[in-house]
Amino acid sequence: MVTDIDIVTNASISEMMEVFGRHACRLKGGNTCDVVWGALSFELTTYRGGLRDGSAEAEFRDAASRDFTMNALFFEPDFNDILTTAATAAAAASGANGSGSPETTSGTAPAGSATATATSSSSSSSAVLSHLQPHGIVKDYVGGVPDLKARVLRVFRTHRQLGQLSSSVEDDPIRVLRAARLSEELRLEPDAYTLEQVHKAAWRCHFQHNGVSHKRVFRELSKMADLDAAAAGGGGGKGGGGGGGKGGGGGGDPGSPRFTAALLRCHSWGVLEALFPELPQDSLERVIRQVFPRLPARLPPELKLSCLVAGEVEGDLVPLAVASAYLPIRKLLEGARPAQAHYPEALCGLSRLLLEDTYAESQPEKWAELFATEGSELVELAYAAFVPEHRQELAERLRLNRQVVEQRVAERVEQRRRSQKAAARRGDYR
């Protein structure tokens, strides 16, 4: 199923608005619009690189301006083939139901004014076409196909020929995070030049003036956090449950080895220190190596990122129990405004209650507040990844505390019911 479609065109922003209308076509930023057309949504971008005449030179300049060569492939669909296939499929369904020339692959196709990037593909909102891939040409101006075959992540290095003084990664340091994600997602290794550019740009991944935005950083980290669930065929970042096979504690969850590997790349490149200088850097690598592989893959990214805030207590790594320690993660979430920004506070609260060795009998209100928090079971799973040798003991303790809280709640409900009944009786006698 196609979920990500990016299209480049020689049309200007105003022309896009004119074609699709201002309700369906919204400016995203720069020369890019988000378009919602029926059941289909896609990004539509004007050619980068200064030329908009739809020529091969315009396509080359656009490809050379993209982040990595594997993301600079174009697919030009054969629109005649699409129409023929659509007509055939519709008829079958009706009957059943009543710069220089680039390297190209696949069949020939007529030139069109719009080209889909190869990281996506064309699709139709029609149900009968949802499984079909149209014929067309893959255009490779920058050597992306050979790089993919060689499992290499590469920055296009002749940017100066286009009058650009810096590489694509230096221009946009958020691409350092993207390099870590793509390396693990597609099992690629950056070449020497790309690594050099990554190290140059890493220090600029900060939230201060002329740095990176909270929304873009969270978007990249979220995609990174979802790698393991996506690889296992599940939906990431939605919450949902259960432990992990290799590291999550049952239920067949694969744990988070890909997210771990991507974060370790970020740490070695200096990105995490640039993003979160307030976090205890001495324990950060240890937390990522030891704890993150055991985090259930389907935990929300907000909760996974909260687990970076950890330290050693009596020889064990545990989430810190001091609210101020989570400020770097909270700032990121507040700036990005995701749906589940409460997880740092919830993880800190659970850690504090456990470290204080409190039980529901002594502090029922605090335990009740924790258990009433959305996703509290997921917070418990995250904490369990820190103490695998005490997993059963932790689960039993939390189960007993839940029991006590539920009993207290039931007693209060019953007490209130009796009070209301007594009040009603007194009213009757009056």
Judged by average pLDDT, the poorest of 11-15, 37-41, 316-320 is 37-41
Q: Which residue has the higher pLDDT, 257 or 234?
A: 257
- pLDDT of amino acid 116: 57
Chain segment 293-315, per-residue pLDDT in tens: 999 999 999 999 999 999 988 87
- pLDDT of amino acid 156: 86
The CATH architecture of the domain made up of 6-150 is 2-Layer Sandwich (3.30)
Q: Is the pLDDT of residue 252 over 80?
A: no
pTM: 0.80
Looking at every residue in the chain, the average pLDDT score rounds to 82
Confidence grade of residue 234 (pLDDT, cut at 50, 70, 90): low
- pLDDT of amino acid 328: 96
Given a contact cutoff of 8 angstroms between Cβ atoms, the answer to whether 182 and 266 are in contact is no
Q: Is the pLDDT of residue 427 over 60?
A: yes
- pLDDT of amino acid 51: 73
The mean pLDDT of 62-91, rounded to a whole number, is 79
Q: Which residue has the higher pLDDT, 214 or 339?
A: 214
Domain ranges within the chain, ordered by starting residue: 6-150, 219-410
State what percent of residues in the chain have pLDDT above 90: 49
Greatest Cα-to-Cα distance within the chain, rounded to the nearest angstrom:
98
Q: Which residue has the higher pLDDT, 70 or 112?
A: 70
Chain segment 172-185, per-residue pLDDT in tens: 899 999 999 999 99
- pLDDT of amino acid 83: 66
- pLDDT of amino acid 239: 40
- pLDDT of amino acid 167: 80
The mean pLDDT of 129-154, rounded to a whole number, is 85
The mean pLDDT of 130-138, rounded to a whole number, is 72
Q: Which residue has the higher pLDDT, 425 or 344?
A: 344
The mean pLDDT of 362-379, rounded to a whole number, is 90
Q: Is the pLDDT of residue 217 over 50?
A: yes
How far apart CA 245 and CA 411 sit, in angstroms, is 39
State what percent of residues in the chain have pLDDT above 70: 79
